[in-house]
Amino acid sequence: MSKTAVSTDGAPKAIGPYSQAVRAGDYLFLSGQIALNPATGELMQGGIEAETKQVLANMTAVLSAGGATWADVVRTTIFLTNLGDFATVNRLYGEVTGAIPPARATVQVAALPRGAVVEIDAIAFVQGR
């Protein structure tokens, strides 16, 4: 099985020793995205709604770079620093995931990089692309 890094300028550069995504066989594994602006590298301001929208935009860009869309996503994990934000994140997430949403876990964590309040990672099935 081959393994290939996937990257795009449409999402923030990795802030550590990892790839934005890795294609391995028929799967695309997206690293967790926080709400960094891809142009500036700065964390999006404006609270949970603004951060979630930026995270989803970043993920959409990485999916596209890997030849995938949200319809190909089979699994996600959402990390929140406050489960009280669940309803807002769930609403925005539901707007992008399509008719058959991926399997998902949502967990509350003590902290996220750069003081973010939400992070999402994903796995997409991209057979034959």
Helix or strand or coil: residue 45? coil
* Average of per-residue pLDDT values in the chain: 96
pLDDT of residue 36: 98
- Strand-pairing partners, residue 4, are 23
Helix or strand or coil: residue 29? strand
pLDDT of residue 1: 74
Q: What is the DSSP letter of 36?
A: B
Name the one residue in this structure whose structure tokens are 């996600």: 76
Burial class (CB in 10 A: 0-12, 13-18, 19+), 100: exposed
pLDDT band for 26, please (50, 70, 90 cuts): very high
**Could you read off the pLDDT of 60-116 as tens digits, one per residue?**
999 999 999 999 999 999 999 999 999 999 999 999 998 999 999 999 999 999 999
Q: Identify the CA nearest to 23 among candidates 1, 45, 8, 41.
A: 1
To the question of pTM greater than 0.85 for the whole model, the response is yes
What fold is seen in the domain 3-125? 60s Ribosomal Protein L30; Chain: A; (3.30.1330)
pLDDT of residue 2: 87
Q: Which helix (H) or strand (E) holds 48?
A: helix 47-65
pLDDT of residue 20: 98
pLDDT band for 54, please (50, 70, 90 cuts): very high
Alpha carbons 104 and 114: distance in angstroms, whole number:
24
